[in-house]
Amino acid sequence: MKKDYYEILGVRRDATAQDIKSAYRKLAVNYHPDRNPGDPAAEEKFKEAAEAYSVLGDPEKRAQYDRFGHSGLGGDFSGFDADIFADFGDILGDFFGFGDLFGGSRRRSRSHRGTDLRYDLTVEFEDAVFGTKAKLRIPRTQTCNHCQGTGADPKHGTEVCTTCGGHGQVRFQQGFFVISRECSACRGTGRIVREPCPECKGQGRIQKERVLEVRVPAGVETGTRLRIAGEGDAGYQGGPPGDLYVSIQVKDHPFFRRQGDDLLCEVPINFAQAALGCEIKVPTLEGDHVLKIPPGTQSGTVFRLRGKGVLNLNGMGRGDQLVKVVVRTPKKLSDRARDLLKELAEELGPADEPETEEGFFSRVKDMFS
């Protein structure tokens, strides 16, 4: 009597497709014949796991199996398809050190993406608020124009690798598997360079400085990263170039501080201006703005100038400028000013004393009595 496929993989009957795949991967690695040479029990478990996964890993076959059992598979079903490893050949390849199993013939290209680059750019506070353009000098690798990135002298070009026949991989038999490995002669490219390019010394890339104009959008702040696609190092063997990431550092401003999209600043006024009210000129990034201070303004009062802040980086409007007025007490007084203040102090009388804790609770008690 054939074993239950769910029991073979060690999963529940309501297991997800990912659970089934993970269970099979674990068994395939543990019982692979290359890991257990000369162990027929391990080889049998490996075959059982492969057969179980070939059914449970296929939604249609699994549905038939769930409904009718082994008889639902035609009665004589046994073994497994050769391509069941296709969806995780990278795992077995990394583990055992070879490429494709069961005669896979995929050619692996040696081309790869170029390296990403980083450039640290310091900008003025105003440029971060309104945006600017900056010219950057970027040292980077570029594709060699002389050989077009092949690394071969154009007079001789490249030759087909005789070891792998231009496939980039060599195949050999191991047990009941046909295994493909990267060709060591051509390093998987399928081509051999006999005469290296004199310009790049066979590398296919050269080091060169590039001057690049970058637009810094309005609203950036320290830590903002701008991605410039395709402006990193050139790719290798025809691979795509990397990207350039510009990291922004904003200089401090002597008057303004930034809080999100808002600008903060402090403006001093004297006691008379705070008590009587006045109009003062407040600096903004676009010139002076006349701010009306109402009579009786207290030190620390914050006034909001709408639309005088920072442009939002994502185009969601513009912040405000928050103006905090600070009443300054004079350190030196003339005789007349001292006399006037004494007269004012007599007129105003003593300042209101803060309410004691006892007085506060007495009022609360009266409210509920």
- Work out the angle between the directed axes of helices 17-30 and 89-96 (0-180°, nearest 10): 20
Place of tokens 């190092």: 233
Tell me: do 126 and 13 sit in the same domain.
no
CATH code for the domain in which residue 188 is found: 2.10.230.10
Looking at residue 273, its pLDDT comes to 93
Residues 130 and 113 sit within 8 Å (Cβ to Cβ): no
Tell me: do 280 and 320 sit in the same domain.
yes
36 is written with which tokens?
């257990």
Tell me: do 245 and 166 sit in the same domain.
yes
**pTM higher than 0.95 for the full model?**
no
Burial class (CB in 10 A: 0-12, 13-18, 19+), 36: middle
Choosing from 250, 272, 302, the residue where a domain stops is 250
Residue 27 has pLDDT above 50, yes or no: yes
Tell me: do 48 and 158 sit in the same domain.
no
Task: Read off the pLDDT band of 112 (50, 70, 90).
Answer: confident
Looking at residue 245, its pLDDT comes to 95
- Kindly state whether residue 152 falls inside one of the protein's structural domains: yes
Looking at residue 110, its pLDDT comes to 60
Tell me: do 329 and 241 sit in the same domain.
no
CATH code for the domain in which residue 316 is found: 2.60.260.20
- Kindly state whether residue 362 falls inside one of the protein's structural domains: no
Residues 284 and 291 sit within 8 Å (Cβ to Cβ): no
Q: Which of 14-18, 148-152, 220-224, 254-258 has the lowest mean pLDDT?
A: 148-152
Residue 363 has pLDDT above 70, yes or no: no
Tell me: do 244 and 334 sit in the same domain.
no
What DSSP designation does 353 have? P
Place of tokens 């069961």: 102
> Which of 209, 192, 186, 197 is CA-nearest to residue 149?
197
Tell me: do 87 and 180 sit in the same domain.
no
Domain of residue 192, residue span = 117-250
Q: Which of 94-103, 137-146, 157-166 has the lowest mean pLDDT?
A: 94-103
Residue 178 has pLDDT above 70, yes or no: no
89 is written with which tokens?
């050949």
Over residues 306-328, the pLDDT tens digits come to: 999 999 998 889 999 999 999 99
- The helix or strand, by DSSP H or E, that contains position 81, with its residue range, turns out to be none
How many domains is the chain partitioned into structurally? Answer: 3
Q: Which of 105-109, 220-224, 228-232 has the lowest mean pLDDT?
A: 105-109
60 is written with which tokens?
């249609």
- Kindly state whether residue 102 falls inside one of the protein's structural domains: no
Over residues 263-285, the pLDDT tens digits come to: 999 999 998 999 999 999 999 99
Calpha distance 170→151 (Å, rounded):
23
Calpha distance 184→179 (Å, rounded):
15
Tell me: do 149 and 61 sit in the same domain.
no
296 contact partners, CB below 8 Å, separation of at least 6 = 274, 275, 277
Residues 243 and 233 sit within 8 Å (Cβ to Cβ): no
Average pLDDT estimate for 19-29:
90
Tell me: do 237 and 269 sit in the same domain.
no
- Kindly state whether residue 46 falls inside one of the protein's structural domains: yes
CATH code for the domain in which residue 75 is found: 1.10.287.110
- Kindly state whether residue 25 falls inside one of the protein's structural domains: yes
CA distances in angstroms from 245 to 119, 145, 242, listed in the order given? 6, 25, 10
Q: Which of 150-159, 173-182, 241-250, 252-261 has the lowest mean pLDDT?
A: 173-182
Place of tokens 């449970």: 56
Calpha distance 153→144 (Å, rounded):
11
- Kindly state whether residue 44 falls inside one of the protein's structural domains: yes
- Kindly state whether residue 27 falls inside one of the protein's structural domains: yes
272 is written with which tokens?
């008379």
- Kindly state whether residue 358 falls inside one of the protein's structural domains: no
Tell me: do 137 and 241 sit in the same domain.
yes
Looking at residue 243, its pLDDT comes to 93
Tell me: do 121 and 213 sit in the same domain.
yes
267 contact partners, CB below 8 Å, separation of at least 6 = 280, 282, 291, 323, 324, 325, 326
Looking at residue 342, its pLDDT comes to 85
Over residues 61-108, the pLDDT tens digits come to: 888 888 778 776 654 444 444 444 444 444 444 444 444 444 444 444
Choosing from 200, 234, 250, the residue where a domain stops is 250
Q: DSSP for 268-296, please give it.
A: EEEHHHHHH-EEEEEEEBTEEEEEEEPTT
